[in-house]
Amino acid sequence: MYRSERCNTARAAARLYTHRNTLLRRVTRAQELLPRPLDDNVVPIAVALEMLNWRGAGV
Report the 3 state secondary structure along the chain: CCCCCCCCHHHHHHHHCCCHHHHHHHHHHHHHHCCCCHHHCHHHHHHHHHHHHHHCCCC
Q: What is the pLDDT of residue 15?
A: 92
Write down the pTM of the prediction: 0.69
Read off the pLDDT of residues 1-57 as tens digits, 9 standing for 90 and up. 777 788 888 999 999 999 999 999 998 998 898 888 877 887 888 888 888 888 886
Q: Write down the pLDDT at residue 57.
A: 62
Tell me the Cα Rg of the chain. Answer: 12
Distance CA 42, CA 47 (A): 9
